[in-house]
Amino acid sequence: MAQPKVAQKKRIFWDAVDVPDLVEYRVYWEKSPGELNYETTPHISIPKTKTEAFVPDDFFGVTFEEDIDYNIWVTSVDDAGNEAPLALVGQFDFTPPPAPTNGGIESIF
């Protein structure tokens, strides 16, 4: 019987922003060569106390395709709704290595 695929985690991280009116961070994603559109690009919100997000754990219901480049933008958001982006590009490859083959269980006397 085949075992279910085990998802590996990827960490997206950034340096903290030290301003008194910081409200949150947002992580946007789009398949390359996508562009950031604050109105339509999907995103998740991250509390201002965190400086990292984990794929897939923090991305509820989102499936990233393997072997495709994604543009990732991390923005800091102030209390007026202004955002400033950090742009990243990467792939999310969750393919595990092949399983070992030709094994068995035997009695040892």
Please check whether residue 44 is in contact with residue 58, taking contact to mean a CB–CB distance below 8 angstroms: yes
State the pLDDT at residue 77: 94
Q: Which residues of the chain have pLDDT under 70?
A: 1-7, 93-98
Residue ranges per domain, the chain? 10-91
State the pLDDT at residue 60: 87
State the pLDDT at residue 57: 87
Please check whether residue 86 is in contact with residue 74, taking contact to mean a CB–CB distance below 8 angstroms: yes
State the pLDDT at residue 9: 79
- Give, in order, the Cα–Cα distances in Å from 15 to each of 12, 59, 75, 84, 95: 11, 20, 11, 13, 29
Nearest residue to 30 via CA among 7, 64, 58, 79: 64
pTM equals: 0.77
Supply the DSSP symbol for 104.
-
State the pLDDT at residue 105: 74
Q: Is 39 helix (H, G, I), strand (E, B) or coil?
A: coil
The second-level CATH assignment, the architecture, of 10-91 is: Sandwich (2.60)
CA–CA dist 49, 70 (Å, integer) = 25
